[in-house]
Each structure stands twice: as structure tokens, then as C-alpha cells.
Structure 1
Amino acid sequence: MADRKILTPDAHHPITITGCPSLVIVRTGSLEIAKTRGALTLVEASYPPVHYIPRRDTDMTLLERSTHTSYCPYKGEASYYSIPALGEAGLNCVWTYETPFDAVGAIAGCLAFYPDRVSIDLAD
């Protein structure tokens, strides 16, 4: 990891993490994958907000660990899960930062889902 750039969020590339006050439900069709009032909302620069869901509120039996990884210089190395029930659309559609950089440490072990592959609904 020494050859990878590590960047700290700042005024030019801000990252905020807040507790989401809404009930967050992740599903595909009638299949509920996660349901929580404990989600964290990460807003990074000009990107759309991402809801990070605690694993305890996710049906992990529906997920299958992938060998795919990616790297973000602000957050660290991401590991991925697939949702086999979605077929090809489910490949690598869930990511997690198991040991994120300190600046975003709150998302450690939480899961995020690609919103173009599953429904992510917020309710009061």
C-alpha cells in the first residue's frame, strides 16, 4: 500500500458522514436485503450521497463475498460482495471498507449498495 496515494478530505474534496434519520430499506423486488434505522450517510465532494448499512441489519445469507477490490485514496481499500439472486446485475454490487482510513473510520464494516442495481428506499 506504500505506493498508493493517501489523501485527507479537505475544503477541495470534503467528506461528511452523518447518521441517517430515516428508515433505510434495501431490496430487489420483494426480496428485502437490509433494513435499518442505523444507516450512515456519506457525502463526498460532488458525488451523490451513499448510505452505509450496518452488517447486523443486512441479511448476509443473501450476499456472497467476491474477490474484487478497489481503492479510494480518501477511504482506503474496498472489498465487494455479490447478490447471486440478481444474476449478472448482482456481481460486485455491494462494497465495504473493512479498515477505512481514520478520516472515514465510522463506515468500517458497513455495506453500501449500487443504487442502479437494487432499490434503496428511505421512509420516516
Structure 2
Amino acid sequence: MTPERPGPGQESVWDYPRPPRLEATSASIEIRLGGEVVARTTSALRVLETSHPPTYYLPRSDFADGVLRPVDGASYCEWKGVAAYYDLVTRARSAPRAAWTYPQPSPGFEALLDHVAVMAAAMDECTVDGEVVTSQEGGFYGGWITSHVVGPFKGGPGTRGW
């Protein structure tokens, strides 16, 4: 594995730290499902971790009313703590367990409280400043790939041990 060299205005995910860094972004984020805008914000947070494209966390209050439905189950992140999950639901479509939050984030990640991340692959479309994102491979991680980040990215076949 050889990291790609970033061009002007790009970031290499290999320059992101471990443990991850949490930072605010004023990028315009929009999420569509079932032909509806289910979330829109310019107040997201990005989690930046070595080898991963950014994961965007939107304020829960910037999701449309009723689209987040809590579901059973949890997972654990060694950095952020215990995650709880949501189905995203519109009149036309639902995406099971496609969103998650940290109800009691670990120290250093307290800003994630009341923020929700979404699996881009389960949505009709997710955009960052108007650019349609590509989802991180693998179905487990929630990174969003744009032209502003270069990899290679963890998540695809053969990358588990990175």
C-alpha cells in the first residue's frame, strides 16, 4: 500500500491522526432519501482517522422531523464509545440501521453528542458543497469520499489489517 500524493486543495487520509481528530466544518452537507432531503446543514463535524475518508456527523436538529427512527442494537468504537442506531425513513423509502449516534461519547469526542452520521451507500445521494460523495467500501465504516481526499482508503477487500 502506497499513499497517494495529494494535489492542491486535497488531503491525504494518511496524514489524518490516530487516534482520530474531530473538527467542525462549515461545508454545505445535504442528504437525500426517497426523493426527499432528509438532512441539510452547514454545521457538521468531521471525524478524521488515518486511512479513512472523513465521517460527517450532522446535528440531529438538522434532520427532517420523523426521519430518524431509533432501533435496537449497538456497536463499540475504541475512540468514540458506544453507538446507537437509527433507521432513516421517508414516505417512499427506508434505510435500515443507516444512521448512528453516540449518546454518551468518550472523552475527547463530547462534541458528537446530539450528532448523527449516515452511511452514504444507503442513501439516494449525499453531497458536500454540492459534490456527490462516494461511500467508503466495506459496509462497516461510514466515510465519505470526495475529490478533496486521496487514499488508498481502508474498508475494501484486503485492507482489514491496515
Query: Corresponding residue for 2:31?
Result: 26
List runs of 5+ in structure 1 lacking aligned partners. 1-10
TM-score (norm 1): 0.82
Q: Displacement of 1:76 after TM fit?
A: 0.4
Q: Where is the helix percentage greater, Structure 1 or Structure 2? A: 1
Q: Which amino acid aligns with 2:104?
A: T
| Aligned-partner SS, 2:120 | coil
Q: Is the 8 A contact 1:19 1:40 kept in 2?
A: yes
Which of 51, 54, 60 pairs up with 1:55? 60
| Aligned-partner SS, 1:14 | coil
Q: Is the 8 A contact 1:19 1:41 kept in 2?
A: yes
Post-superposition CA distance 1:92-121 (Å, at most 9, x none): 000000111011111112000001111221
Measured in 2, the distance between the counterparts of 1:95 and 1:18 equals: 18
Query: Corresponding residue for 1:101?
Result: 106
Post-superposition CA distance 1:80-102 (Å, at most 9, x none): 00023434xx1100000011101
Task: Give the number of the structure whose alpha-carbon radius of gyration is greater.
Answer: 2
Does the C-alpha gap of structure 1 residues 109 and 102 become closer, same or farther in structure 2, counting only changes over 3 Å?
same
Equivalences for residues 1-124 of structure 1 within 5 A: 13-85=18-90, 86-87=93-94, 90-118=95-123, 119-123=125-129
Deviates more, 1:72-81 or 1:28-37: 28-37
Q: Displacement of 1:21 after TM fit?
A: 2.2
Runs (4+) of structure 1 moved beyond 4 Å? none
Q: Which amino acid aligns with 2:102?
A: Y
Measured in 2, the distance between the counterparts of 1:35 and 1:122 equals: 10
Q: Is the 8 A contact 2:58 2:117 kept in 1?
A: yes
List runs of 5+ in structure 2 lacking aligned partners. 1-15, 131-162
| Aligned-partner SS, 1:106 | helix
